[in-house]
């Protein structure tokens, strides 16, 4: 198995440890933000805003993901966090729930966008596939930590799980020997499904770019991501169940996401009428940046060029400037030509004038 710790060293009295889990989670977050930036820019908004939003969304999202994971563990009967509450802070040990990150991160994003006058639907459509991309990139960390696996399986792609990482129901090493028992890699199933959904949403956003209205892509994401996670929950024995049923709390939330997504799609394309959606915008409301005052160009120009400027700081096109200069030259040449013609005419007239008669001396 891969060592969860990449390297560690002691700094004064502190142990500095770099773990694969933290590296992959941060890599997924950065990759998702990069994807979202490109999609936001493609929709006409300033994509760099997402990096400012990440300052708030990322830590709050991680906090929510951790709290949801701990709550889910307690509901499933795990007493570890009740007996060791300080370990709730040990995020590097693993344990972040996707839905908690979505909920808390989504709330933080909403208030950030409202504060800055941004279109929420534009950002949701751009971020929806990015969240699944980031989650998929971070999923191998679960393999390294030997967590989020499924039931025992005989399938060739089953993975081994060491005894100290086994769930209570699989801790009997006689019934489930370490050497021969393999488990469903549910994290890998979810990673593959996430990549497929991302590719589908990317294709959908290009193929039907003119037909898709604000919120349609986010709605499709809710539907597909919800159905995907509902399917995965059938392979997750570590999730808290509702009573004695096979239904987990996460399964209910996932299926609820899918239902909400389906209803939003029907409303978005006019198949279902809801009073609350009557004012749903048909186009993204891109924030307009105020025009900055034009600065005087630093290009060195001659006095003749300055006279051809349309307004301060704006130099006319070379062709226009050339035409104006040519016109000025033509005018000057015409004046010179007229002056020469006038002078010549005067000389000609003087030549034709008859000479005065002289007085005769014989008279």
How many angstroms separate the Cα of 158 from the Cα of each of 22, 177, 233? 25, 14, 17
Tens of pLDDT, residue by residue over 126-147, are 999 999 999 999 999 999 999 8
Tens of pLDDT, residue by residue over 12-46, are 888 888 889 889 989 999 999 999 999 999 999 99
Distance from C-alpha of 250 to C-alpha of 270, rounded to nearest angstrom = 30
Contact at 8 Å (CB) between 2 and 75?
Answer: no
How many angstroms separate the Cα of 315 from the Cα of each of 50, 186, 297? 36, 64, 8
The predicted pLDDT at position 168 comes to 87
Query: Exposed, middle or buried: residue 161 (CB in 10 Å: 0-12, 13-18, 19+)?
Result: buried
At residue 239 the predicted structure's pLDDT band, cuts being 50, 70 and 90, is confident
Distance from C-alpha of 145 to C-alpha of 23, rounded to nearest angstrom = 13
Sequence-distant (6+) residues with CB within 8 A of 192 are none
Contact at 8 Å (CB) between 25 and 92?
Answer: no
In the predicted model, is pLDDT for residue 306 greater than 80?
no
Task: Decide which of 276 and 118 is more confident.
Answer: 118
């Amino acid at each position: 198995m891969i060592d969860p710790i990449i390297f560690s060293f002691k700094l004064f009295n502190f142990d500095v440890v770099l773990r694969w889990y933290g590296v992959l989670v941060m890599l997924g977050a950065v990759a998702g933000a990069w994807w979202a930036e490109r999609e936001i820019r493609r929709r006409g908004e300033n994509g760099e805003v997402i990096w400012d939003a990440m300052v708030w969304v990322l830590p709050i999202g991680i906090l929510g993901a951790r709290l949801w994971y701990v709550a889910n563990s307690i509901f499933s009967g795990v007493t570890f966090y009740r007996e060791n509450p300080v370990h709730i802070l040990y995020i590097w040990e693993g344990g972040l729930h996707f839905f908690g990150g979505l909920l808390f991160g989504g709330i933080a994003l909403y208030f950030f966008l409202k504060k800055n006058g941004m279109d929420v639907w534009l950002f949701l459509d751009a971020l929806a596939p990015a969240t699944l991309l980031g989650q998929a990139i971070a999923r191998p960390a679960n393999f390294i930590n030997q967590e989020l696996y499924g039931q025992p399986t005989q399938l060739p792609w089953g993975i081994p799980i060491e005894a100290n990482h086994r769930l209570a129901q699989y801790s009997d090493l006689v019934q489930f020997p370490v050497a021969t028992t393999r488990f469903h890699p549910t994290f890998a199933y979810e990673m593959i499904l996430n990549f497929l959904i991302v590719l589908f949403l990317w294709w959908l956003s290009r193929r039907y770019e003119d037909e898709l209205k604000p919120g349609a892509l986010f709605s499709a994401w809710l539907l597909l991501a919800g159905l995907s996670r509902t399917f995965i929950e059938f392979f997750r024995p570590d999730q808290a169940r509702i009573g004695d049923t096979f239904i987990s709390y996460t399964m209910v939330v996932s299926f609820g996401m899918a239902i909400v997504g389906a209803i939003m799609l029907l409303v978005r394309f006019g198949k279902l009428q809801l009073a609350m959606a009557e004012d749903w915008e048909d186009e993204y409301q891109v924030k307009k940046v105020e025009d900055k005052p034009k600065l005087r160009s630093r290009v060195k120009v001659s006095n003749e060029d300055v006279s051809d400027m349309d307004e301060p700081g704006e130099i006319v096109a070379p062709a226009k400037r050339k035409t104006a200069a040519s016109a000025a030259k033509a005018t000057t040449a015409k004046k010179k030509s007229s002056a020469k013609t006038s002078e010549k005419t005067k000389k000609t007239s003087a030549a034709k004038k008859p000479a005065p008669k002289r007085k005769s001396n014989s008279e």
